Amino acid sequence: MTSVHPRALDFPQPFLDGVIPDEAELTAGERVEAGKSYGFFTDTTLCIGCKACEVACKEWNNLPADKDRMTGDSYDNTGALSAHTWRHVAFIERIGRRGGDSTTMPPYQSNWLMMSDVCKHCHNAPCLEACPTGAIFRTEFDTVVVQTDICNGCGYCVPACPFGVVEVSDQDGKAHKCTLCYDRLKGGLEPACAKACPTDSIQFGELSGLVTRAQTRVFELHAQGQPAAYLYGAPETPGATGGLDWLNCFFLLTERPEVYNLPAAPSRAANRVRPALAAGLATAGLLTLAAAALMRGGRA
Amino acid sequence: MSGHPLPYGRPNMPAAPAAYRGETYYGRAAVKHSPWDWRIGAYMFAAGMAGGSQILAALGEASKDRRWDGMVRNARTVAVVNATVGGLLLISDLKTPNRWYNMLRIFRPTSPMSMGSFVLTGFGTLSAATLAGHALGWRRAARAAQVPAALAGVGMTTYTGALLAATSTPAWSASPRLLGARTASAGMASAAAALALGERAGGRGGTGQTLDRLALLATGLDLALSLTADASKNRAGVEAPRGGERMRRLSAYALAHALPLGLYALNAGVRRPSPGVSVAAALSVLVGQALMRGHLLQSGQRSATRPGDYFRLTQPSRGVQRIGGAGDA
Amino acid sequence: MPQWDLANADCIVVMGSNMAENHPIAFRFVMQAKTRGATLIHGDPRFTRTSAMADIYAPVRAGSDIAFLGGLIRHVLENDLWFREFAMSFTNLSTIIHEGYRDPEDLDGHFSGWDEDEQTYLADTWQYEGQHVPSSLAEHHVLTTESFAEEVRDMSEGPPPNDPSLQHPRCVYQILRRHYARYTPDMVERVTGCPRDVFAKVADALCRNSGRERTTGFCYAVGWTHHSTGVQIIRAAAILQALLGNVGRPGGGILALRGHTSIQGSTDIPTLYDMLPGYLPQPHAFKPHATLKDYLATEQSPTGWWFSFPDYAVSLLKAWYGAAADEAGDFGYSWIPKMVGDHSQLPMTMAMADGVLRGLVVLGQNPVIGGSNSRLVQEGLGRLEWLVVRDFTETETASFWYAGDPVRNGGLQPADIATEVFLMPASITGEKAGSFTNTHRLVQWHEQVVDSPGDSRSETWFVYHLGRRLKELYAGSDRARDQPIQALTWDYPVEARRQEPDAEAVLKEINGYRVADGALLSSFKDTRADGSTACGCWIYSGVFPREGFNKARERRPDGPDGPGMHLGWAFAWPNNRRILGNRASADPDGRPWSERKRLMWWEPAEGRWVGADEIDFEETKAPDYRPDWSGNVKGMEAIGGHEPFIMIADGRAALFAPSGLEDGPLPTHYEPFESPIHNPLYKAQSNPAAKLWPRLDNTYHDEADPRFPHVLTTYRLTEHHSGGSPTRSVPVTAELQPEGFAEIPSELAQRLGIRSLDWVVLSTLRGEVQTRALVTDRLRPFRVDGRVVHQIGMPWHFGWEGYATGDIANVLTSIVADPNTSMHENKALTCALRKGRLKEVRR
């Protein structure tokens, strides 16, 4: 048994002449509408590490492959999110000497963690706040997108990002990151990674519904004997700290955030503008006064 | 999960997490370092010196003391040259330089880079006006532009510190206030030293002596701020530099602070200060501050590659307070 | 069972499969079951991405699955946990076996009937007492002594002898108990390396989730089939499922996870040498198959559904030979080639190397990567006169002559290889229309989306035009041997632009039609043995039931509140039935076993079986129907209304299989042919009937050979597809696993000073490979029979072509096979490991 949307019955043929209107409704149970907030809920307990999201993303967004050596870090040969990799599946082996015995593991992923990482589309996005050209903007779907025709490759968004997501490509000199498939959303389609995910580890949807779904899932897992499950990036949870408010793309994790290469309490880079400027101005003012005094004294 | 404390005490609540025990993801970086190279360090040095120069030019102009005329002209020249060269450095560091003008497409108060683009543009234009006024003999025009140029100069000596602080790079973000402050003190020290050199070259020992005192003061303050900043970073969890990086920092401290402080002290202690010692001290400050900007840039880039630094900095117990909004505001 | 039906399971046992990695889409339904609270069990030598999702991971040493499953069977029997009402009526548990039967327990590893000279079994003593039982497999003819059939009754002459009290010492129940008596938890741990308490957890979860209210499903794949005991491993699971009542019911069954998109299709309409379409036996020169009459008489089962065999065989001949097939001419039966032995890929490899086979056409395959003993494969290819490779990229099979192992590492120069290689560009899925038959027997049509580039064409195009040209070439011949080509119907319409044959026309021929007027058959029930119908594959009949209605094109799912069998979604053979044996979803009286597991039931008022699925039974046969044994009862008349498995001659699941198997009626633990330990259970070390081809270029390791102390298992990764051509040649998939590697357990790596990314050399007597090390705690040493055995894993996807490259794992494997299927044993062999690289002769 699997969930079938009633509208699926309207398309009883294997070949369609065009896109199904509001296709996301069939694949994600959700109509995509401008003015609402969208994001991903990535449930790591459902991730089987198949990397279909990585491939679907590269195929849809026409991103180049740029790795030809294995890393030796479990099955992760992608390493990190980058200008050319907008979905990255992390593999964490905690079996044997590092974790417990594989035969006595608790239910769900625990001895080999897998997690599909992605741009968090922060509510207060440091990359957007850092961008001096306005190339990075907030879309009508409340997602954060780089307009490459405006970006001049200043690279300030790169260190601004608290999650190491955005990067400037050495191929075109522009910053790139996940767009939450802006083009697909405009066409009423579910983002490519979420649609490709065979186990619904990546769930796409309108934010408030997504958060409710995620909370339900956490309680379900607790009831099923997985007390370690928690949300990261949803409102009022780890990851949604330091003025970021919340992350439109949030996660269900079962280990400390650092294990997945995520900061426990990231913060908004722009928080630091005011203190730095204030202290700088005070110092400059102080030295100006001192200089004035010295110069006057010199005349005397 | 025996043996594994729950990552978070209660579901969905960031309260009372187990202590961070140094976990990383295969030692891979958790944040990306900026794509900038030495040009950004050079620009920060040039911008600080230029901004400080215009402040001093304004003070010189305001003093109505003709002894400062040479210094004012030199300062305006330094401002224009540094702003021009600095601007070119910035553009050349863009990965798509032919779109440099998009820097002025919008103004974004949350972005020191955006702020800085306007500050630099304003500063360059005003400085050019002061210099042009000076050269063409339109003293009133020069004087009219001087105060705004100096105000922009304050921005120039300050904003690059905010620019580094407003990132997720551990070594830059660990102590934003100290970084902002030391950027201003470094700018003023460089400006005073550079202009003192001009006075010595012009044979104006008296004003040179005054600028030496200012340089001494700024350098002393800069030393105090820098040492505090470094200690504070380390306390927050940023690894202290090692190996070559440590040597570069030591030599930057030696040239920017130790040597000039000694030389200035030497000159201050004698009845007839030696111009040679003064020149040596000023040169040392300039080279040292340039090295220090390079070190700041580089050590930041390095710290971004160390996930432990970032994770220690972003622990909820103290990290939020240190680099987050609430504690820092 | 449908993959989506896994979501209805209360417990899922995945063994012999790394399902999450190699069947990620089907695994969706496993995850759905899990989120609804089902227990997932994974038994595997390696801790894989599937194990990571499991509630219970049972480490089972490669090749010891029967010991594990046998232990479970014993647990079920000795603790009386079997589903009594189900098993008593639906299996042959109470049937009495021939008095001459002797068990491996009596003969130290052999069954009775072993012929030492021929190294084969005769099945006389495995038969039901006083009866001979035809197999339900393609080869229904029983392998007994020739006179045996004359001495005993056939199945139509009376019911099988049975003892409902289960007290008879030779009833299947008692035989099973004796056979598995020694498969205790202790023995399971000793043989498989699986800790006793983990085994107990598995046994408990399995039994707790079976019965009236709950069902358990099994999933397996090539981790079970690629063994010299492959068929018997699956049999062991089948015995377990039949005992526990998990067959023919929602969430129950055994799901054979088949690879690729249409591997199921390639056995239904087979690329196998020993079968004709629809699982009809290929005529054999040494069997009584000389004439059509002989063939039909030999292979027709007197009872059960296979009684209709002549309808299907004759309709197939009519489809192939059309008007040329008439009754007088045996419908062209004599034109079908007769086989003389094992013509499977493994002996064919040797036939190439020996110069017997002179030409080879390779379609959609990459035997240099996928064939066992790759060096022998490559040497064989080098002795061919010509080789045609059809693929969408240059494969290792096409470039062996200048880049292969014999050329790179010694021996040969390209100039020494006389093989003429034709590499022909092939279209890929979206470039052609056609059907896929997936693991659930679901035939799904796909349309052409774009034209293939350049000269690349579909396989249908290639085969059609090759046949057309051959027919033109032989049109004027009057030699008898050319008649099969002359008589072949080859009248598919082609489209004008590229001369591509109409794939739907092929599907219509497969579906079948009435010869007189060409009217399409609506089901296989319409086929006749008199030549009035033609049908290319009887089990597919109904896929194109009327003109203009290609059922495989249909995409009508059940709505959100529908029954969830999705009968409107494409076509599942046979007759659109989704769950085989679904008569068993109701009790012997035809009532659902429980509300929770309701699927099909007998509706007395309507006088037929109703429910969410199409019934896999005679629709109007009442549960209380009993054969009238006073006379001779043929075909389906001999199957009672309480006997659900109609393809089996007595309608009951064969816990004890009297026929159809070459290596015994019951699964028995034998060590893999190459093993580092001695068989702890029997003197017989490995499957006595396994197929071996010992020769200098295919040498085997001795039992417990100290030179090759480690177990090697080969496997696939999510990131690559089989031989790797489709994924290693595409950058975005190649980069996900960009290099070949071997997984090495930490303990062994530490001992040998190996760290991840180091180069290591794996060697067997067949060859050596160098590859990167991936050191991991996911592979653990096994404590087996008192000693520590290390297992090394090596993915076999890699080769020298494409963006992701690496040495070929199959250089290490040998050619040794399961006796029933000629399936190679590449999941368990022995090898040596050292740190370092190969000395390169020339590169």
- Residues C686-724 have pLDDT tens digits of 999 999 999 999 999 999 999 999 999 999 999 999 899
Last residue of a domain, one of B145, B166, B187: B166
Q: Does A92 touch chain B (CB under 8 A)?
A: yes
**Residues B149, B245 share a domain:** no
Tell me the C-alpha to C-alpha distance, in Å, between residue B16 and each of A180, A247, A259, B10, C500: 33, 21, 18, 8, 69
Q: Give the domain range for residue C810.
A: 691-835
CA distance B94 to chain A (A): 5
**Does residue B277 sit within a domain?**
yes
**Residues B106, B92 share a domain:** yes
User: Could you give phi then psi for residue C173, rounded to 5 degrees?
Assistant: -55, -50
Q: How confident is the model at residue C313 (pLDDT cuts 50, 70, 90)?
A: very high
Chain A segment 219-278 residues within 8 A of B by beta carbon are: 219, 222, 227-231, 234, 236-238, 241-243, 253-278
**Does residue B65 sit within a domain?**
yes
In angstroms, the first-to-last Cα distance of chain B is 40
CA distance A72 to chain C (A): 6
Query: Which residue(s) pair with C442 in the sheet?
Result: C572
CA nearest neighbour of C277 among C315, C334, C306: C315
Closest CB to A267 among B209, B210, B320: B320
Q: Is the Cβ pair A103, C57 closer than 8 Å?
A: yes
Q: Is the Cβ pair C772, A12 closer than 8 Å?
A: no
Last residue of a domain, one of C256, C285, C319: C256
Q: Is the Cβ pair B177, A174 closer than 8 Å?
A: no
**Residues A129, A262 share a domain:** yes
Q: Give the model confidence (pLDDT) of B37-46 as tens digits.
A: 999 999 999 9
**Residues A152, A40 share a domain:** yes
Average pLDDT of every residue of chain C: 94
**Does residue C779 sit within a domain?**
yes
Q: Do C269 and C537 meet the contact criterion of CB atoms below 8 Å apart?
A: yes
- Return the CATH number at C56: 3.40.228.10
The mean pLDDT of B239-265, rounded to a whole number, is 95
**Does residue B246 sit within a domain?**
yes
**Residues B191, B216 share a domain:** yes
Q: Give the model confidence (pLDDT) of B48-64 as tens digits.
A: 999 999 999 999 999 88
Chain C segment 571-630 residues within 8 A of A by beta carbon are: none
Q: Do B123 and B149 meet the contact criterion of CB atoms below 8 Å apart?
A: yes
Q: Does A289 touch chain B (CB under 8 A)?
A: no
Q: Do C245 and C217 meet the contact criterion of CB atoms below 8 Å apart?
A: no
Tell which of B20, B98, B167, B169 to mutate to test the A interface (max A CBs under 10 Å): B167
Interaxial angle between packed helices B139-165 and B275-305, expressed in degrees from 0 to 180 and rounded to the nearest 10: 40
CA distance C733 to chain A (A): 7
Q: Do chains B and C touch (3 or more CB pairs under 8 A)?
A: no
Q: Distance between CA C220 and CA B250 in Å, rounded?
A: 65
Chain A residues closer than 8 Å to B323 by CB = 242, 267, 271-272
Q: Is the pLDDT of residue C633 over 50?
A: yes
The mean pLDDT of A154-164, rounded to a whole number, is 98
**Residues A206, A280 share a domain:** no
Distance of CA C230 to the CA centre of its chain: 9
Last residue of a domain, one of C256, C279, C307: C256
**Does residue A281 sit within a domain?**
yes
**Does residue C641 sit within a domain?**
no
Tell which of A246, A295, A296 to mutate to test the B interface (max B CBs under 10 Å): A295
**Does residue B1 sit within a domain?**
no
Distance of CA C732 to the CA centre of its chain: 31
**Residues A90, A70 share a domain:** yes
Q: Where are the alpha helices (DSSP H) in A115-227?
A: 126-130, 157-160, 182-186, 192-196, 207-223
Q: Is the pLDDT of residue C64 over 50?
A: yes
Q: Is the Cβ pair C21, A70 closer than 8 Å?
A: no
Q: Which helix (H) or strand (E) holds C217?
A: strand C216-220
ipTM, two decimals, is 0.94
**Residues A188, A299 share a domain:** no
Q: Is the Cβ pair A160, B36 closer than 8 Å?
A: no
Q: Is the pLDDT of residue C573 over 50?
A: yes
Q: What's the total number of domains in chain C? A: 2
Q: Does C508 touch chain A (CB under 8 A)?
A: no
- Return the CATH number at C761: 2.40.40.20
User: Could you give phi then psi for residue C276, rounded to 5 degrees?
Assistant: -100, 165
- pLDDT at position A4: 84
Q: Is the Cβ pair A72, C756 closer than 8 Å?
A: yes
Q: Give the model confidence (pLDDT) of C792-841 as tens digits.
A: 999 999 999 999 999 999 999 999 999 999 999 999 999 999 999 987 64
Q: Which helix (H) or strand (E) holds C292?
A: helix C292-299
Q: How confident is the model at residue B325 (pLDDT cuts 50, 70, 90)?
A: very low
**Residues B310, B206 share a domain:** yes
CA closest to B105 among chain A residues: A133
Tell me the C-alpha to C-alpha distance, in Å, between residue B186 and each of B162, B223, C197: 14, 9, 69
Q: Is the pLDDT of residue C514 over 60?
A: yes
Last residue of a domain, one of C256, C288, C303: C256
Q: Give the model confidence (pLDDT) of B103-148 as tens digits.
A: 999 999 999 999 999 999 999 999 999 999 988 888 888 889 999 9
Q: What's the total number of domains in chain B? A: 2
Chain A segment 196-215 residues within 8 A of B by beta carbon are: 215
CA nearest neighbour of A99 among B132, C51, B219, C367: C51
B30: DSSP letter: S
The mean pLDDT of C178-195, rounded to a whole number, is 96
**Residues A280, A261 share a domain:** no
**Residues B240, B162 share a domain:** no
Q: Give the model confidence (pLDDT) of A248-276 as tens digits.
A: 999 999 999 999 999 999 999 999 999 99
**Residues A214, A286 share a domain:** no
Chain A segment 53-82 residues within 8 A of B by beta carbon are: 71, 73, 76, 79-80
User: Could you give phi then psi for residue C119, rounded to 5 degrees?
Assistant: 55, 40
pTM, full prediction: 0.94
Instruction: Please tell me which chains touch A, using 3 or more CB pairs under 8 Å as the contact test.
Output: B, C
**Does residue C710 sit within a domain?**
yes
**Does residue A7 sit within a domain?**
no
Of chain A, the percentage scoring pLDDT greater than 90 comes to 82
**Does residue B270 sit within a domain?**
yes
Residues whose CB is less than 8 angstroms from the CB of residue B158 and which lie 6 or more positions away in sequence, other chains included? A277, A280, A281, A283, A284, B51, B180, B183, B184, B187
**Does residue B30 sit within a domain?**
no
Chain C residues closer than 8 Å to A76 by CB = none
**Does residue C223 sit within a domain?**
yes
Write down the residue that tokens 């067997």 correspond to: C764
Q: Is the pLDDT of residue C17 over 90?
A: yes
Closest CB to B12 among A165, A230, A271: A230
Tell which of A169, A246, A258 to mutate to test the B interface (max B CBs under 10 Å): A258
Q: Is the pLDDT of residue B15 over 50?
A: no
User: Could you give phi then psi for residue C319, rounded to 5 degrees?
Assistant: -65, -35
The mean pLDDT of C140-161, rounded to a whole number, is 86
- pLDDT at position C409: 73
- pLDDT at position B8: 58
Closest CB to B26 among A73, A236, A275: A73
Q: Do C253 and C247 meet the contact criterion of CB atoms below 8 Å apart?
A: yes
Q: Distance between CA C585 and CA C594 in Å, rounded?
A: 9
CA nearest neighbour of C676 among C783, C826, C823: C783
Question: Of the segments B280-284, C256-260, C405-409, which one has the largest average pLDDT value?
Answer: B280-284
Q: Distance between CA A169 and CA A177 in Å, rounded?
A: 10
Does residue C488 come out as left (phi exceeding 0), alpha (psi in the -120 to 50 range) or beta? beta
Q: Is the pLDDT of residue C564 over 90?
A: no
Q: How confident is the model at residue B18 (pLDDT cuts 50, 70, 90)?
A: low
Radius of gyration of chain A (CA): 23
CA closest to A15 among chain C residues: C447
The mean pLDDT of C603-628, rounded to a whole number, is 96
Q: Distance between CA A224 and CA C605 in Å, rounded?
A: 44
**Does residue A3 sit within a domain?**
no
Q: Is the Cβ pair A129, B111 closer than 8 Å?
A: yes
The mean pLDDT of C170-195, rounded to a whole number, is 97
The mean pLDDT of B262-291, rounded to a whole number, is 92
Tokens of residue B59, six digits = 């003070």
Q: What's the total number of domains in chain A? A: 2
**Does residue A116 sit within a domain?**
yes
CA nearest neighbour of C510 among C571, C596, C577: C571
**Residues B135, B190 share a domain:** no
Q: Is the Cβ pair C32, A2 closer than 8 Å?
A: yes
**Residues A259, A290 share a domain:** no
Q: How confident is the model at residue A108 (pLDDT cuts 50, 70, 90)?
A: low
Chain A residues closer than 8 Å to B187 by CB = 284
Dihedral, CA of residue C542, residue C547, residue C552 and residue C554, to nearest 10: -120
**Does residue C147 sit within a domain?**
no
Chain A residues closer than 8 Å to C738 by CB = 67-70, 77
Q: Does C741 touch chain A (CB under 8 A)?
A: yes
Q: Does B9 touch chain A (CB under 8 A)?
A: no
**Residues A242, A98 share a domain:** yes
**Residues B109, B43 share a domain:** yes
Q: Give the model confidence (pLDDT) of A163-187 as tens digits.
A: 999 999 999 999 999 999 999 999 9
**Does residue C623 sit within a domain?**
no
**Residues A274, A255 share a domain:** no
The mean pLDDT of C145-154, rounded to a whole number, is 85
**Does residue B47 sit within a domain?**
yes
**Does residue B71 sit within a domain?**
yes
Q: Do chains C and A touch (3 or more CB pairs under 8 A)?
A: yes
Q: Is the Cβ pair B166, A272 closer than 8 Å?
A: yes
Let me know if B227 is exposed, middle or buried by CB neighbors in 10 A (0-12, 13-18, 19+). middle
Q: Is the pLDDT of residue C4 over 80?
A: yes
Q: Is the pLDDT of residue C424 over 70?
A: yes
Last residue of a domain, one of B135, B166, B197: B166
Q: Distance between CA C42 and CA C54 in Å, rounded?
A: 6
Does residue C527 come out as left (phi exceeding 0), alpha (psi in the -120 to 50 range) or beta? beta
Size of interface A-C (CB pairs under 8 A): 172
Q: Which helix (H) or strand (E) holds C712?
A: strand C710-715
**Residues B315, B192 share a domain:** yes
Q: How many CB atoms lie within 10 A of CB A77?
A: 23
Q: How confident is the model at residue C774 (pLDDT cuts 50, 70, 90)?
A: very high
Instruction: Please tell me which chains touch B, using 3 or more CB pairs under 8 Å as the contact test.
Output: A
- Return the CATH number at A61: 3.30.70.20
**Residues B211, B72 share a domain:** no
Q: Distance between CA C294 and CA C303 in Å, rounded?
A: 18
In angstroms, the first-to-last Cα distance of chain A is 94
- pLDDT at position C413: 87
- Alpha carbons within 13 A on the beta-carbon side of B185: 26
User: Could you give phi then psi for residue B219, rounded to 5 degrees?
Assistant: -65, -40
Q: Is the Cβ pair A159, B31 closer than 8 Å?
A: yes
Of chain B, the percentage scoring pLDDT greater than 90 comes to 81
Q: Distance between CA C647 and CA C618 in Å, rounded?
A: 12
CA quadruple C443, C449, C451, C453: dihedral sign: negative
User: Could you give phi then psi for residue C349, rounded to 5 degrees?
Assistant: -60, -45
Chain C segment 541-580 residues within 8 A of A by beta carbon are: 553-560, 562, 564, 568
Q: Do C428 and C454 meet the contact criterion of CB atoms below 8 Å apart?
A: no
Tell me the C-alpha to C-alpha distance, in Å, between residue C436 and each of C24, C447, C451: 18, 11, 19
Q: Give the domain range for residue A274.
A: 270-300
Q: Do C436 and C263 meet the contact criterion of CB atoms below 8 Å apart?
A: no
Residues whose CB is less than 8 angstroms from the CB of residue B201 and which lie 6 or more positions away in sequence, other chains included? none
Let me know if C227 is exposed, middle or buried by CB neighbors in 10 A (0-12, 13-18, 19+). buried
Q: Out of C138-142, C609-613, C729-733, C802-806, pick the least confident.
A: C138-142
CA nearest neighbour of B222 among B189, B191, B255, B173: B189
Size of interface A-B (CB pairs under 8 A): 344
Tokens of residue A223, six digits = 């009831």
Closest CB to A102 among C35, C59, C746: C59
Q: Distance between CA A298 and CA B270 in Å, rounded?
A: 17
Q: Give the domain range for residue B263.
A: 170-319
Q: Which helix (H) or strand (E) holds A203?
A: strand A202-206
Tokens of residue C19, six digits = 């399902």
**Residues A126, A44 share a domain:** yes
The mean pLDDT of C233-258, rounded to a whole number, is 96
Instruction: Provide the residue type at C534 as one letter.
Output: A
Q: Is the Cβ pair A291, B59 closer than 8 Å?
A: yes
Tell which of A219, A277, A286, A289 to mutate to test the B interface (max B CBs under 10 Å): A277
Write down the residue that tokens 């020494």 correspond to: C416
**Residues A298, A263 share a domain:** no
